[in-house]
Structure 1
Amino acid sequence: MRLFIVIAVFGCVLLTPRFAQASDRTWRDTSNIGRDALVIAALGTPLVQEDWQGALQASGSVGAATLVSLGLKDIFPETRPDGSDRRSFPSTHTATSFAAAATLQNRYGWKVGLPAHLVATIVGISRVQGTKHHWYDVAAGALLGEASGLLLTTRRNNNIRMLPWSDGQGGGIAMALRF
């Protein structure tokens, strides 16, 4: 876990000087590397720990976000800012990245989730800066990925469960502890 955090922070520090003079290719490379690193972390972390349920949940989360995103591109054709095609909405790079980040956070906690979300945010920014997506494409992708990661992944420690609830007059979070 600590290695992932160090890599994420080190990667962000290394990429920062490139952002000032970034070309479309730099932005594309940044988004591809960030997305791939997050997917590898989301799938690799449970495999290394022999957490087979976590690996299955990560696969489902990332796969669902990617497939739904690709399906929405056909339903809502949107021209990319660079005019290259009509598959801008929503951002699949962002959906996949946020699904992986949310999976890592929901399964392993904020110490892994926070740097993962930082990398996912950089992926989203790079898609806008590289003129591949509008800001709302990235926002929709982030929402889709976050929902996928949170809905399809459970916390590794089953002794603590937190569930959102609502009724006609309010809502909250119910927490159950098992001793």
Structure 2
Amino acid sequence: MLMTLCLASFSGQAKGNLETSGDALHIALPAAALVAALTVEDDYQGTWQLVQAGVSSRLAVEALKWGVDKQRPDGSGDDSFPSGHTADSFAAATFINQRYGWEYGVPSYIAASYVAYTRVASDKHHVEDVLAGAAIGMLAGWYFTDPYEDISIIPLANNGTYGVFISGRF
């Protein structure tokens, strides 16, 4: 299902409308995560985790947009930092990755990266705007999402030490 939504979104690019394809994928990725949580799982635990990640990510984005007065590259407003489209997409991609594994996470991160690319390519954001949006979305996704099958992969960065923490029941 996710692949179908992604392909439908990419068809917007073939028509020459890069921004529209990114906008569509920005909606499709969280929608696919919601559909997966509602159909794959027996309870609403995943749905609740997705809502928490998405809402917290969006609240952080809106607070920063309100507090940081940064013009968009196309001059259409002073709410360029950070990118909400990118934060929403990366929160959903991180939820999918954390909840259901890398086989679904990698395509989701590719789709989220495409959304970020379209925001820069359509002059709606600067590169630093989408990088901040991606970081906010990923942090929210990592914080609120537990793995569906008790396996967790978490990147670590602390005082110059970097690594990956993997936990689960084997």
> Which piece of structure 1 moves more, 29-38 or 98-107?
29-38
**Pairwise CA RMSD of aligned residues?**
2.3
**Letter matched to residue 109 of structure 2:** H
Please point out which of 53, 59, 63 is paired with 1:67: 59
SS at match of 2:149: coil
Q: Which has the larger radius of gyration?
A: 1
Match of 2:142 in 1: 150
Moved more, 47-56 or 71-80: 47-56
TM-score, normalised by the number of residues in structure 2: 0.86
Deviations 1:48-94 (A, max 9, x none): 12341100001111111111111100111100001111000000000
1:87 counterpart = 2:85: no
- Contact in 2 for aligned 1:128/1:138 (Cα 8 Å): yes
Identity %: 33
SS at match of 2:139: helix
Segment drifting more, 27-36 vs 79-88 = 27-36
Question: How far apart in 2 are the matches of 1:40 and 1:17?
Answer: 22
- Change in Cα spacing, 1:64 to 1:17, as seen in structure 2 (3 Å) is same
Note if 1:55 corresponds to 2:58: no
- Residue 42 (1) aligns with residue 36 (2): no
Q: Which runs of 5+ in 1 are unaligned?
A: none
1:27: Cα distance to partner?
2.9
When the two structures are superposed, what TM-score results if normalisation uses the length of structure 1? 0.82
Q: Provide the rounded CA distance (Å) in 1 between the counterparts of 2:22 and 2:131.
A: 15
- The one of 124, 129, 153 equivalent to 2:121 is 129
Q: Go from structure 1 to structure 2 and tell me whether the alpha carbon gap of 1:114 and 1:79 turns closer, same or farther (over 3 Å shift).
A: same
The 1:142–1:44 alpha-carbon spacing in structure 2 relative to 1, beyond 3 Å, is same
Number of matched pairs: 169
Relative to structure 1, the CA distance from residue 168 to residue 88 in structure 2 (aligned partners, 3 Å threshold; closer, same or farther) is: closer
Contact 2:87 2:136 in 1 (8 A): yes
* Partner Cα separation in structure 1 for residue 23 and residue 156 of structure 2: 37
Question: Runs of 5+ in structure 2 lacking a partner?
Answer: none
Secondary structure of the 1:126 match is helix
